[in-house]
Amino acid sequence: MKNRKILLFGYGNHGKYIAKGLVEDGFKVQVIENNENFYNNALDEGFTDACKIDVTKDELLMALNPESYKQLVCVMDDEHLNVFLTLSLRSLFKKSYILSISDSIHTTKKLQMAGANMVIDLYEVSANKIHNILNRPVATQLLEEFVVHKNDIGFRELIIPPKSFLSGLMTDDIDLSEYGVLLVGLIDEERGHHFEFITTGINHKLDSGDTLVCIGKEEMLNNFVDLINKKEI
């Protein structure tokens, strides 16, 4: 069975919305907090199996068995604690996938150095939203309608396999809409292991091992996963 378990650290200003969104998307979310108020909020809002622990203690982190989860999501309100936690998790669990959020370029760099697989920069998200509203208002409105009303819409991370037909193509030359999916951004390993929105204007060369982040209907995303494994189409 596909692993749908998420270990989410933090139920503060960002974490509570992320946790609820993940549950709506069908994930089983285990909330971990070290703040008494945030912990109580999680319990009150339906996360009855939330845990309150001191996330600076390695032995307590190990007791959570993080390696059994699909992803470890670090969204602590305290940015210094978030960086420390990311560093601790990476040191303890070498193979785990860690996603962290950042509210500044300096914190983003620290989280990348700490070993996060993906860092979502909240300022970059806001900047790209403004860019899209100004330059692509209709597309932005449609995308928000998809996300708000669901309509079986989801996000998917797709790693380009060796010898895929996508290998060697430039992002400016591909239109994934013909496959029923929209490219939101990617991790271009040649540029470093960090996520970049497609709206940044960079013409990326796609290679095997790069990660695409796409949005679309689940059926279309599943079909596209099968498609990118083909050597040619």
Domains and CATH numbers, the chain: 5-120 (3.40.50.720), 136-228 (3.30.70.1450)
Q: Please state, in angstroms and rounded to a whole number, the distance separating the CA atoms of residues 119 and 174.
A: 25
Q: Which of 138, 67, 80, 146 is nearest to 114 (CA)?
A: 80
Q: Is the pLDDT of residue 131 over 50?
A: no
Q: Is the pLDDT of residue 52 over 50?
A: yes
Instruction: Compare 219 and 57 and report the one with higher pLDDT.
Output: 57
- The pTM assigned to this predicted structure is 0.60
Q: Please state, in angstroms and rounded to a whole number, the distance separating the CA atoms of residues 105 and 147.
A: 27
pLDDT band of residue 199 (cuts 50, 70, 90) is: low
Give the lowest-confidence range in 12-21, 72-81, 128-137. 128-137
Average pLDDT over residues 86-103: 92
Instruction: Compare 197 and 72 and report the one with higher pLDDT.
Output: 72
Token pair for residue 13? Answer: 């200003």
Q: Please state, in angstroms and rounded to a whole number, the distance separating the CA atoms of residues 175 and 190.
A: 22
pLDDT band of residue 143 (cuts 50, 70, 90) is: low
CA atoms within 13 A on the CB side of 159: 5
**pLDDT of 145:** 54
**pLDDT of 2:** 66
Contact 205/168 with Cβ under 8 angstroms? yes
Partners of 98 in the β-ladder: 72
Q: Please state, in angstroms and rounded to a whole number, the distance separating the CA atoms of residues 103 and 108.
A: 8
Q: Please state, in angstroms and rounded to a whole number, the distance separating the CA atoms of residues 112 and 202.
A: 20
**pLDDT of 228:** 85
Q: Please state, in angstroms and rounded to a whole number, the distance separating the CA atoms of residues 70 and 81.
A: 22
Average pLDDT over residues 99-109: 84
Q: Is the pLDDT of residue 137 over 90?
A: no
